[in-house]
A and B are shown apart, each in its own frame.
Chain A
Amino acid sequence: MVEYQTYEHDVLVIGAGGAGLRAAIEASAAGVSVGLICKSLLGKAHTVMAEGGMAAAMGHNDDRDNWKVHFSDTMRGGQYVNNWRMAELHAKEAPDRVRELEGWGAVFDRTKDGRINQRNFGGHRYPRLAHVGDRTGLELIRTLQDHGIHQGIDVHMEVTVISLLKDGDRVVGVFAYEREHGRFRVFKAKAVILATGGVGRAYKITSNSWEGTGDGHALAYHAGAELIDMEFIQFHPTGMVWPPSVRGILVTEGVRGEGGILRNSEGKRFMFDDIPANYKEQTADNEEEGWRYVAGDKNARRPPELLTRDHVARCINREVKAGRGSPHGGVYLDIAWIKEKLPNAAEHIKRKLPSMYHQFMQLANLDITTTPMEVGPTTHYIMGGIRVDADTQASTLPGLYAAGECASGINGANRLGGNSLSDLIVFGKRAGEYAAQFAKENRHGSIDSTLIESEARRALEPFDREAGENPFVIQNDLQDMMQKLVGIVRLEDEMKEALDGLDKLKERTAKSSVTGNIDFNPGWHTALDLRNLLTVSEAITRSAIERKESRGGQFRDDYPDKDPAFAKFNVAVKEVDGQMQISHEAIPEMPAELKAVIEEMG
């Protein structure tokens, strides 16, 4: 008999980043009991890494902005395979969600007339990102945390979920372990919200922390829920490339929003060479106009460095492959040049981009106020995830909800910078609200104890095996392979090779072993995370093979163009009899009034 402690909550939230915290606050406010599971300590989730800001069409810096412009920017950036209803809700509700944060103590940067200041970002027509220097994510998570701790939420820190527990089709709880002593826990819940973030650790070069192992994606998948759009991975154009140990760490898009420009080794501003047709009208065609836009001229169009992330990342990749890269395999991102335009440029940069300044100073011995940075693409975000209903965030399984990065729909084929933080608070709130409602309408389900026994045995297997491989080595090999074979530029043959590689990695994982005892044992934790990483890697690869075109975060060298036939559906994966089954989910027809909005906005 396996030993475990049992906890009971009306609503259980898994994940304590922006979406999870916002969901927990909302559910708690609705009067149900709420448990919040954090993989790390409270306040340390990956949301703290978000830098640039949260997009909300408040129109403080340009009163031409409104939800319609934001909606059409989001759809255009996502190449029209987004869930249009989510994009609509997001554009309409983000301003209220941001203002609400101010009422909870958030301190945003201010405009001259004392309102929340908004900055430029890629793909957004007007200055739209509410921000706090370049540490907006920290402000968001701390505001939600400091508000949430007074709401009577039960917080379970350093607890990791191993599997979802079901009663028939309905999700009724989770099986988990706490890190310090490796003890098992069973959480019974009337409704469960997944808010576990992304999958970046499937790749070698990533901006994601160790937690980004696709837990929510894999938990939902193995419970029988549907995932969509898994082929759409966002490679952020600007990650650090040197020194090697910091490769992949994020350099905020805010650098470009404040006037930073990209140059190749020949000193050429290469982004002017390749402006996609559907952005031509909105994009500056000379350097002078680009600067005027950054400096706030409302009649200027934005510089090509602020095109969408998928495009900028591919341009950088092209420059490096063509031999025009920097010494360490990136290109140059230069913010120091603005001293030609601003009298107190160094102070301005330090004030607007303080953590970038410190990050480069401390980790790379480089002063960004005088010297260009070397940057290159880094795995940053997955647009794909758990398929949810736009209004309620309900997954395809009763009792299971998802919000934030692990849910899918709002971003389509490519996410605009700044839309992530606003996604977290808009849909975190909705998930909390509807999960609480479901909890009020349903009783606790019953949990099969034999399932708990078998899950516990499976979790402990790595301790029973001797002289197996170190899970860290397998994880490294997986990351190398995904980076090489299912990265920014994809080919059918390479991805099929990756599927074979995944089979071999699964076999190796099944034989891996861990040493030491069960107390806070990172080797064991990695062994358990590997199952999730392998699942999401397979979903990414199979979906990417299925989409035989290039769109947003998916670029196929063998199908380099967009194919209108693929604009009509999302690729979905589901577990059927232990196998990954692929299907096409037709995208519903957009209502006439939203079509009109898109036409009106051009």
Chain B
Amino acid sequence: MSEATFTIRRGGRDGGEMVAYQTRVTEGMVVLDAVHQIQAESAPDLACRWNCKAGKCGSCSAEINGKPKLMCMTRLDTIDITQPVTIEPMRAFPPTKDLIADISWNYEVKKRIKKFKPRPPDAADGTWRMQQSDVDRVQEFRKCIECYLCQDVCHVLRDHVKHDEFIGPRFLVYSAALEMHPLDTENRVDELKDEFGIGYCNITKCCTKVCPEHITITDNAIIPLKERVVDEFYDPLKRLVRLFRRK
């Protein structure tokens, strides 16, 4: 058993400061355990979000030593605790209090994406037939726990603050899950190009690296969507057809 120092952002929407807390460290502890221990010992008003504590709900997203991670899945024996460990809220969103960020923007974005629209049922009893191989790709995207760490790390949002023009990796994955759903009949390619700003993504793959569900966001979701946009709008032959159609 040893002691470690955690430097945690304290403060509200208008600003904050980093405050150091010491607590003991035992075998197998994760960062969220340390935060809970600090709450119980010395800072009961320290605000953090959490629910499942098993990497399944995506509530406890934070920046640990500057890296976007889930606090519940970050074991202390995987980071250097001989130095103070910094814990801060996600920076791509406004801070609310202490470790909590205001992520309400994400909920607004999701509403703007057209909902699932299935084809008519395949069987008389109102059900559909799909092979496992047809749903494998979509199931990968549907593993998403909406922790928004991919949004946090994306430079288009984090550094360039394009929240009004770009929906971010999470909602490109969400769009991909709908677009590639074997039963879906909706078309979302127009808005991906114009309203959702898919062109801003320059495939640096930072989102893929931080995804706690190991979804290959860039390769499997974003790039195929980009290809659909290209097919639809920049294929020379199709452009020609569109030109005539408009007339």
Q: Does B223 contact A (CB under 8 A)?
A: no
A249 touching B53 by the CB < 8 A rule?
Answer: yes
Q: Mark A464-477, 1 if CB is under 8 A from B, else 0.
A: 00000011110010
Segment at the A interface, from B55-63, B79-87, B154-162: B55-63
Q: Mark B37-61, 1 if CB is under 8 A from A, else 0.
A: 0011000111111111111111100
Q: How far is the CB of A575 from chain B (nearest CB, A)?
A: 30
Residues of B within 8 A of A115 (CB): 127, 129
Give bound CA distance, A434 to B103, whole Å: 34
Closest B residue to A108 by beta carbon equals B135
Q: How far is the CB of B11 from chain A (nearest CB, A)?
A: 10
B135 touching A110 by the CB < 8 A rule?
Answer: yes
Q: How far is the CB of B51 from chain A (nearest CB, A)?
A: 4
Segment at the B interface, from A68-76, A447-455, A514-522, A590-598: A514-522
With contacts A44-B51, A104-B116 known, is A470 near B28, CB below 8 A? no
B45, B100, B118, B129 interface centre (most CB from chain A within 10 Å): B45
B54 touching A249 by the CB < 8 A rule?
Answer: yes
Q: Does B4 contact A (CB under 8 A)?
A: no
Contact of A135 among B49, B51, B143 (CB under 8 A): B143
Residues of B within 8 A of A139 (CB): 142
Give bound CA distance, A524 to B98, whole Å: 15
Q: How far is the CB of B131 from chain A (nearest CB, A)?
A: 5
A523 touching B12 by the CB < 8 A rule?
Answer: no
Segment at the A interface, from B107-115, B201-209, B226-234, B239-247: B107-115
Give bound CA distance, A359 to B73, whole Å: 9
Contact of B54 among A43, A103, A157, A359 (CB under 8 A): A359
Q: Does B220 contact A (CB under 8 A)?
A: no
Number of residues of chain B lying within 8 A (CB) of chain A: 58
B145 touching A48 by the CB < 8 A rule?
Answer: yes
Contact of B45 among A40, A44, A114, A517 (CB under 8 A): A517
Give bound CA distance, A157 to B104, whole Å: 10
Interface residues of B in 62-104 (CB under 8 A from A): 73, 75, 96-98, 100, 103
Closest B residue to A180 by beta carbon equals B96
Contact of B138 among A104, A107, A249 (CB under 8 A): A107
Segment at the B interface, from A161-169, A237-245, A387-395: A237-245
B50 touching A210 by the CB < 8 A rule?
Answer: yes
B132 touching A109 by the CB < 8 A rule?
Answer: yes
Which secondary structure dominates chain B's binding surface? loop
Q: How far is the CB of B100 from chain A (nearest CB, A)?
A: 6
Segment at the B interface, from A85-93, A142-150, A224-232: A142-150
B127 touching A49 by the CB < 8 A rule?
Answer: no
Q: Does B188 contact A (CB under 8 A)?
A: no
Closest B residue to A113 by beta carbon equals B129
B49 touching A521 by the CB < 8 A rule?
Answer: no
Residues of B within 8 A of A113 (CB): 129
Closest B residue to A526 by beta carbon equals B44
Give bound CA distance, A480 to B178, whole Å: 46
Q: Does B181 contact A (CB under 8 A)?
A: yes
A105 touching B181 by the CB < 8 A rule?
Answer: yes
A245 touching B52 by the CB < 8 A rule?
Answer: no
Q: Does A41 contact B (CB under 8 A)?
A: yes
B59 touching A44 by the CB < 8 A rule?
Answer: yes
Closest A residue to B46 by beta carbon equals A522
Q: Does B217 contact A (CB under 8 A)?
A: no
Q: How far is the CB of A31 from chain B (nearest CB, A)?
A: 19
Closest B residue to A149 by beta carbon equals B111
Give bound CA distance, A61 to B98, whole Å: 50
Give bound CA distance, A135 to B129, whole Å: 21
Give bound CA distance, A210 to B139, whole Å: 29
Give bound CA distance, A409 to B132, whole Å: 36
A522 touching B126 by the CB < 8 A rule?
Answer: no
Residues of A within 8 A of B75 (CB): 362-363
Residues of B within 8 A of A104 (CB): 116
Closest A residue to B116 by beta carbon equals A105
B55 touching A522 by the CB < 8 A rule?
Answer: no
A132 touching B111 by the CB < 8 A rule?
Answer: no
Contact of B127 among A99, A355, A519 (CB under 8 A): A99
Contact of B55 among A105, A180, A359, A364 (CB under 8 A): A359
Number of residues of chain A lying within 8 A (CB) of chain B: 68
Q: How far is the CB of B109 from chain A (nearest CB, A)?
A: 11
B28 touching A244 by the CB < 8 A rule?
Answer: yes
Residues of A within 8 A of B143 (CB): 135, 138, 354
Give bound CA distance, A113 to B131, whole Å: 7
Q: Does A250 contact B (CB under 8 A)?
A: yes
Q: How far is the CB of A116 from chain B (nearest CB, A)?
A: 8
B56 touching A138 by the CB < 8 A rule?
Answer: yes
Q: Does B105 contact A (CB under 8 A)?
A: no
Interface residues of A in 244-261 (CB under 8 A from B): 244-246, 249-250
B73, B75, B181 interface centre (most CB from chain A within 10 Å): B75
B59 touching A522 by the CB < 8 A rule?
Answer: no
Q: Mark B11-47, 1 if CB is under 8 A from A, else 0.
A: 0100000000000001111100100000110001111
Q: How far is the CB of B3 from chain A (nearest CB, A)?
A: 16
A44 touching B28 by the CB < 8 A rule?
Answer: no
Contact of B56 among A109, A116, A355 (CB under 8 A): A355
Contact of A180 among B26, B33, B97, B145 (CB under 8 A): B97
Residues of B within 8 A of A355 (CB): 55-56
Q: Does A42 contact B (CB under 8 A)?
A: yes
Q: Does B152 contact A (CB under 8 A)?
A: no
Q: Does A46 contact B (CB under 8 A)?
A: yes
Q: Does B130 contact A (CB under 8 A)?
A: yes
Q: Mark A188-213, 1 if CB is under 8 A from B, else 0.
A: 00000000000000000000011100
B26 touching A103 by the CB < 8 A rule?
Answer: no
Residues of A within 8 A of B50 (CB): 209-210
Give bound CA distance, A210 to B138, whole Å: 31
Q: Does A558 contact B (CB under 8 A)?
A: no
Q: Does A358 contact B (CB under 8 A)?
A: yes
Residues of A within 8 A of B118 (CB): 103, 105
Q: Does A493 contact B (CB under 8 A)?
A: no
Give bound CA distance, A515 to B132, whole Å: 54
With contacts A48-B52, A245-B30 known, is A43 near B146, CB below 8 A? yes
Residues of B within 8 A of A48 (CB): 51-52, 56-57, 145
Per CB-CB distance, the 10 closest pairs between chain A and chain B, nearest first, are A243-B28, A516-B45, A523-B44, A114-B129, A105-B116, A520-B47, A472-B40, A209-B51, A110-B132, A520-B97
B interface with A by C-beta (< 8 Å):
12, 26-30, 33, 39-40, 44-59, 73, 75, 96-98, 100, 103, 107, 110-111, 115-116, 118, 121, 126-132, 134-135, 138-139, 142-143, 145-146, 178, 181, 183-184
9 A–B contacts, CB within 8 A, in A order = A44-B57, A107-B135, A110-B135, A135-B56, A146-B116, A362-B73, A514-B44, A521-B47, A522-B46
Contacts A245-B26, A519-B97 supplied; 5 other A-B pairs, CB < 8 Å: A48-B57, A107-B139, A110-B135, A114-B128, A520-B47
